[in-house]
């Protein structure tokens, strides 16, 4: 029988409601780290996570807590990301827990991702403990939020814990509640081993490490472990726990959370969702796995310096080791040369990968505008997945085009219902439902084309609701639509990396706005540059970048030398993210212009 003194839990919350801060307080209170060792927000270990204040990869930590009943409990906290792109990772960590703290901001109330995460927790049969956070704020309205939790989620919130992760209010109460409310794990120590891999990570010394929740049995150094999906076997070299630093222990047994290392060369052999068993006494059945993550947004990544191609590939491979949801394959563009088409879970995921490539791997990249996957049926009846607009077959070979649609849930103060409906109308949305989550807040459900969300939906939603709306969405399938491809010609030459796919009703408007925008972005050269947007071979808009009249440096002629140097440096820096296409230089901004034209 698994230890009655283990509690496995995670924290679910909408972004910024205080999940990481609360985790820090729990770690601090239980003394896992001394105050001096305590860095702000221990769980967000990646630099980028700390900077952006978001959790990207989930992490785990073991806390030791002496409860009021006098017993010492082992609490395993598994952190979850809060952003919509990473819902998939949330479901992984929840599968390793018996309980969850539901953190809701006492000012903001329930938001879209609060709901999405609660539903995931309910699906996993977790005991949910509501915590109303930030009660130290003067504008906090805990009673209102309590009511929202009851009305919207249907959870009894009468004994919700009132907390302030910032000042430490309620921390002890939370720990006590975890001990009394979250059930201990069920598994049997003496049954054949079953451990669920909920994450994996590559370590240069230990090889691929599996982060596991042991559900049944035991595992220790020397165990011959077997991956149930592939049958591959490895000898365990180390097992350990997160304190949060990795600490080696004798063994891990039913109910516990920790890591297993086995000098595994390839991270592909430690597949998240797989079950590890003991080769000598294997379990009959694996644990239920998870839904596989599917990339939703694609873009091209090209090195500015052609020589960097191999380095870009190596860097993508390294990132992929710790992030299986990043996919990539080589791609060639007539305009940009050799690069990669990369798939991401969403826009934030895409930005994060781009930023890591540039910062951690010091690459200088051109990124093309993001696209979704279109399903194109050609006249031969074949269905093609098109993730790059440039690869769309010629119009006369297309029978139908279908685009991905999502079910979007928007929570917003009632005053903004009008503007949101208007926005969703413009974005080709289909109304599905609306209800009140409290007297003044409304939940709207729409079906929307994913491409419209990728386009500028977030920005529009924010600006039209003064930042008060929150959004969550999930893929809902494919729908046929009247779509066309717009190509861009610079100086008469097709720039394939600027092509995009758009609904016919918006094509003229976007085609025209794009050339206007490009005219402002493409630097003047010694000659005139016509810019055209075309559908098929029909020109729908045209602008011209005038030729430069004088050498820029001529202005400084005879001027002081430092000013001249500055100007040269400025030109050089500006050049960094430019790509020579034919005899025209195109800056990075041009490839994103299509996203910023309405």
Q: Does residue 517 contact residue 511 with C-beta atoms inside 8 Å?
A: no
Q: How far is the CB of 81 from Mg ion (least distance, A)?
A: 8
Residue 59 vs 256, nearer CB to ligand GDP:
59
544 in a known ligand binding site: no
Q: Is 80 in the site for Mg ion (CB under 5 A)?
A: no
Residue 160 touches which of ligand GDP, Mg ion, none (Cβ within 5-8 Å per kind): none
Which DSSP symbol is given to 57? S
CA within 13 Å, CB half, 558: 0
Q: What's the CA gap between 99 and 124, in Å, rounded?
A: 9
**DSSP-based three-state secondary structure for 145:** helix
Site for ligand GDP, rule CB under 6 A: 13, 15-21, 53, 55, 82, 133-134, 136-137, 164-166
133 in a known ligand binding site: yes
Residue 275 touches which of ligand GDP, Mg ion, none (Cβ within 5-8 Å per kind): none
Q: What's the CA gap between 228 and 77, in Å, rounded?
A: 26
Residue 162 vs 521, nearer CB to ligand GDP:
162
375 in a known ligand binding site: no
Q: What's the CA gap between 177 and 159, in Å, rounded?
A: 10
Residue 81 vs 303, nearer CB to ligand GDP:
81
Residue 52 vs 311, nearer CB to ligand GDP:
52
Q: How far is the CB of 596 from ligand GDP (least distance, A)?
A: 27
387 in a known ligand binding site: no
Residue 17 touches which of ligand GDP, Mg ion, none (Cβ within 5-8 Å per kind): ligand GDP
274 in a known ligand binding site: no
Q: How far is the CB of 386 from Mg ion (least distance, A)?
A: 36
18 in a known ligand binding site: yes
What string marks each residue from 14 to 53 as x (binds Mg ion by CB under 5 A) or -? ------x---------------------------------
Residue 522's region, left for phi above 0, alpha for psi from -120 to 50, else beta, is: beta
Q: What's the CA gap between 530 and 185, in Å, rounded?
A: 68
- Looking only at the bridges linking them, the beta strands covering 529-535 and 218-220 are unpaired
Q: Is 55 in the site for Mg ion (CB under 5 A)?
A: yes
Q: What's the CA gap between 550 and 546, in Å, rounded?
A: 12
Residue 221 touches which of Mg ion, ligand GDP, none (Cβ within 5-8 Å per kind): none
Q: Does residue 229 contact residue 286 with C-beta atoms inside 8 Å?
A: yes
Residue 273 touches which of Mg ion, ligand GDP, none (Cβ within 5-8 Å per kind): none
Q: Does residue 136 contact residue 162 with C-beta atoms inside 8 Å?
A: no
Q: What's the CA gap between 590 and 581, in Å, rounded?
A: 12
Q: Does residue 341 contact residue 398 with C-beta atoms inside 8 Å?
A: no
Q: How far is the CB of 482 from Mg ion (least distance, A)?
A: 42
Q: What's the CA gap between 353 and 367, in Å, rounded?
A: 11
21 in a known ligand binding site: yes
The residue count for binding Mg ion (CB under 5 A) is 2
Q: What is 201-267 written as a DSSP string?
A: EEETTTEEEEEEEEEESEEETT-EEEETTT--EEE--EEEEESSSEEEESEEETT-EEEEE--BS-G
Residue 16 touches which of ligand GDP, Mg ion, none (Cβ within 5-8 Å per kind): ligand GDP
Q: How far is the CB of 137 from ligand GDP (least distance, A)?
A: 5
Q: How far is the CB of 21 from ligand GDP (least distance, A)?
A: 3
Residue 165 touches which of Mg ion, ligand GDP, none (Cβ within 5-8 Å per kind): ligand GDP
- Residue ranges binding Mg ion (CB under 5 A): 20, 55
Q: Which residues are annotated as a binding site for GTP?
A: 16-21, 133-136
Q: Which residues are annotated as a binding site?
A: 16-21, 133-136
């Amino acid at each position: 029988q698994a230890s009655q003194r283990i509690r496995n839990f995670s924290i679910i919350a909408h972004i910024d409601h205080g999940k990481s801060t609360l985790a820090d307080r729990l770690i601090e209170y239980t003394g896992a780290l001394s105050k001096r060792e305590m860095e702000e927000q221990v769980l967000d270990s990646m630099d980028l996570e700390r900077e952006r204040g978001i959790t990207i990869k989930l992490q785990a930590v073991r806390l030791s807590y002496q409860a009021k009943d006098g017993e010492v409990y082992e609490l395993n906290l598994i952190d979850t990301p809060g952003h919509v792109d990473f819902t998939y990772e949330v479901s992984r960590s929840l599968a390793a827990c018996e309980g969850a703290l539901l953190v809701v901001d006492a000012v903001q109330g329930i938001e879209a991702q609060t709901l999405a995460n609660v539903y995931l927790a309910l699906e996993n049969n977790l005991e949910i403990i509501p915590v109303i956070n930030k009660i130290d704020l003067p504008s906090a309205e805990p009673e209102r939020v309590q009511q929202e939790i009851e009305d919207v989620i249907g959870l009894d919130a009468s004994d919700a814990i009132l907390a302030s992760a910032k000042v430490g209010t309620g921390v002890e109460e939370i720990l006590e509640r975890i001990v009394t409310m979250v059930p201990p794990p069920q598994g049997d120590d003496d049954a054949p081993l079953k451990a669920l891999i909920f994450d994996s990570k590559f370590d240069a010394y230990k090889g691929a490490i599996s982060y596991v929740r042991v559900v049944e049995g035991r595992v220790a150094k020397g165990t011959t472990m077997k991956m149930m999906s592939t049958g591959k076997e490895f000898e365990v070299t180390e097992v350990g726990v997160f304190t949060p630093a990795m600490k080696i222990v004798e063994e891990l047994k039913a109910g516990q959370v920790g890591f297993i290392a086995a000098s595994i060369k390839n991270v592909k052999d430690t597949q998240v969702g797989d079950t590890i068993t003991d080769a000598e006494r294997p379990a009959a059945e694996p644990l239920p796995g998870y839904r596989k993550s599917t990339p939703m947004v694609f873009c091209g990544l090209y090195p500015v310096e052609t020589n960097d191609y191999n380095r870009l590939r190596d860097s993508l491979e390294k990132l992929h080791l710790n992030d299986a949801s990043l996919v990539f394959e080589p791609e060639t563009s007539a305009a940009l040369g050799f690069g990669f088409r990369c798939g991401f879970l969403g826009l934030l995921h895409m930005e994060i990968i781009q930023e890591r490539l540039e910062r951690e791997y010091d690459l200088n990249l051109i990124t093309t505008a993001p696209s979704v996957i279109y399903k194109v049926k050609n006249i031969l009846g074949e269905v093609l997945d098109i993730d790059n607009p440039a690869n769309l077959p010629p119009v006369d070979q297309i029978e139908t085009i279908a685009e991905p649609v999502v079910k979007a849930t928007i929570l917003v103060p009632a005053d903004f219902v009008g503007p949101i409906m208007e926005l969703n109308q413009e974005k080709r949305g289909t109304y599905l439902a609306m209800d009140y989550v409290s007297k003044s807040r409304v939940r709207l459900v729409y079906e929307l084309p994913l491409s419209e969300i990728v386009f500028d939906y977030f920005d529009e939603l924010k600006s039209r609701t003064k930042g008060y709306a929150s959004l969550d969405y999930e893929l809902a399938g494919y729908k046929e639509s009247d779509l066309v491809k717009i190509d861009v010609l610079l100086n008469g030459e097709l720039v394939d990396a600027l092509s995009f796919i758009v609904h016919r009703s918006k094509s003229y408007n976007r085609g025209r706005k794009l050339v206007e925008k490009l005219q402002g972005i493409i630097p003047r050269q010694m000659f005139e540059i016509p810019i055209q947007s075309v559908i098929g071979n029909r020109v729908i808009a045209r602008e011209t970048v005038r030729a430069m009249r004088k050498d820029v440096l001529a202005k400084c002629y005879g001027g002081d030398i430092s000013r001249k140097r500055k100007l040269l440096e400025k030109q050089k820096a500006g050049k960094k993210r430019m790509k020579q296409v034919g005899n025209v230089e195109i800056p990075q901004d041009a490839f994103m212009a299509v996203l910023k034209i309405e």
